[in-house]
Amino acid sequence: MCGIFCSVNFSAEHFSKGLNENLLYNLKQRGPSSSNQLLKSDVNYQCLFSGHILHLRGVLTAQPMEDERGNVFLWNGEVFNGIKVTAEDNDTQIIFNSLSSSNNESDILSLFSAIQGPWSFIYYQASCHYLWFGRDFFGRRSLLWHFSNLGESICISSVGTQTSGEANQWQEVPASGIFRIDLKSTSISKCVILKLYTWKYNSRENVSKEYVNSLTQITADLPRFVSVETNEDKLYLEKPVVPLNMKLPPAPFETHCTSISRVLPTGETLQVYLTDKHMKKVVQQFIDVLSISVKRRVLCLQREESLTPNKVLNMCGRKANIAILFSGGIDSMVLATLADRYIPIDEPVDLLNVAFMTKEKNIPTSFNNKKNKQKKHHCEIAPEELSENLVATTNDQFDKQFNVPDRITGRAGLKELQIVSPSRVWNFVEINVSLEELQQLRRTRICQLIHPLDTVLDDSIGCAVWFAARGIGCVVTQDEVKSYRSNAKVVLTGIGADEQLAGYSRHRLCFRTHGLEGLNKEIEMELGRISSRNLGRDDRVIGDHGKEARFPFLDENVVSFLNSLPIWEKANLTLPRGIGEKLLLRLAAVELGLTASALLPKRAMQFGSRIAKMEKNNEKASDKCERLQGNSLENLSIEKEITV
């Protein structure tokens, strides 16, 4: 995980200006291991590069990187497959070496087509005055752009910042391919032309299919002096996943699965499916491909040497390197079970479970005293102190205020995991958030990260994920309740499972209205928009804690496997909730030894954590969220004083 930034100024009056203080702060939050800047000047323009590193694997390699030819590279990503990177290697250096030795555009495109894993990058090709940048196919790493008025400057960054009175300052770079800007030409014409190298899929019949986002869609939100064009040579990136199988069953679907539909909606239904040899084989194939995905994501980081057998009993001080956003639902339970296969047994795993106070209660006196002391500094309670006070006041009545659905299923899931893997230390981190703390941290910190997204849904999920990833809470044992802060640098999240396996309620509505054909189209659309709807936002809010989000369900091989299956082998929405949606994942859970969690119905994070409707009851998810508007630079200064 890194924070990467580049600004290009074409007007001499903007030359030699440093990086905006607030933006620099946001970038440093993402990369606490190393921070550097580099200035490159030309007669016609000036480039400022800034790189901030979260060191996870290989040798710590500072960014920006520059070679003897004057090329500059900024990389925010992980190579999990596709090109060779050993445990001792640093992928930034390997990719930059390949870019430096590239002879033409085709070499550059071949390199990024081969990489499997999340990435965003910025590459300055000095000899051609080209600036290359882009995100991976799914947009798993955030990248934003900002074009100043009249084309005087361009900014590209992992995260932006809001300026009072300026709306829509930053926009997400579409995950439509790789973009290239000719800086010399732009400095002369004052018009920005973005050359797009889009993602395409080549089948064996050599038929190309355009990516969902057209040039018109990309250009629509850009200033009038910015245009997007396809490259003249019709070069493109090769899609990393196979097309979605749109096949329909030969007989009506209801007839196709009548025998199973008559079974009672219990675990017996799943057992009936597993008696079918073909289905059992498909389930095992899914477990295998998802296991490899999880393995890569829990092992690709530096960790302490494993303890010797005679020291395993004394593990109380052992640090967790992996955390999981954990509700106890089917997605997080399967990830935890598979992660347990590969994480050293003497290493704890942090299960991050967030809950929001279900109703307002009187704030303890200690809170008010601390608040009065803070007034002279023009800021409120420091968030860490507030969280610790919440832990300190834990009792039966207090606990009920946070007894939200995800807390209940999370505790049940913990018990299941302790049965499946009793030797593992599972740190179930109860993260309790009051209304006061939510409002304070949203105003001073979180709204900066959700931006430029701005809906009620973005607010709910963005805030919930931010607090969960921060990992400040308590761990309850048989003997005590103790304050706990997760320092795990890698956070696994189950995003991608619902989109591919028909997990949302809207999938049921679509199936009832348009049948399997409509459901296929809905799933295709879900994957096509996941970069703009979810992943950039989630990367920004998790990365703000100096932690890296990893998405096992969006591994290229996992997506290709699921795309290759017909829809009825992934879901059966004629069956009740808790069975029919994400059917394939539920079958995998049963095969992995999970029980009650395999039958839990889908519950969205904003409802399971009870953040939705916490402040307003009449909002729709798609509404613009007033709480994300009107942030000021004064609030950012306050945030720096209290430093989360």
Catalytic residues: 2
- The CA distance from 290 to 288, in Å, is 6
Question: Within a 13 Å sphere around the CA of 472, how many CA atoms are in the beta-carbon half?
Answer: 19
Q: Judge if the upstream peptide bond of residue 174 is cis by omega within 30 degrees of 0.
A: no
> How buried is residue 436: exposed, middle or buried, by Cβ count under 10 Å (0-12/13-18/19+)?
middle
- The CA distance from 540 to 549, in Å, is 9
Strands 322-325 and 349-356, by their bridges, are parallel
- The CA distance from 183 to 46, in Å, is 10
Contacts of 401 (CB under 8 A, 6+ apart): 357, 358, 359, 361
Helix (H, G, I), strand (E, B) or coil at 6: strand
Secondary element (H or E) of residue 95: helix 91-100
Structure tokens at 223: 């200033």
- The CA distance from 162 to 420, in Å, is 46
Concatenated DSSP letters of 608-636: HTT-TTSS-SS--TTSB-GGGS---HHHH
Instruction: Characterize 21-33 residue by residue with b for buried, 16 or more Cβ atoms within 10 angstroms of its Cβ, and e for exposed.
Output: ebbbbbbebbbbe
Answer whether 569's CB lies under 8 Å from 285's CB: no
Concatenated DSSP letters of 38-72: EEEE-SS-EEEEEEEE---SSS---SSEE-TT--E
Answer whether 32's CB lies under 8 Å from 54's CB: yes
Strands (E), 226-302: 226-230, 237-238
Answer whether 193's CB lies under 8 Å from 186's CB: yes
Residue whose C-alpha is closest to residue 320's, from 292, 338, 356, 345? 345
Contacts of 201 (CB under 8 A, 6+ apart): 208, 209, 238, 239, 242, 243
Contacts of 642 (CB under 8 A, 6+ apart): 379, 380, 382, 383, 444
Contacts of 68 (CB under 8 A, 6+ apart): none
Answer whether 226's CB lies under 8 Å from 215's CB: no
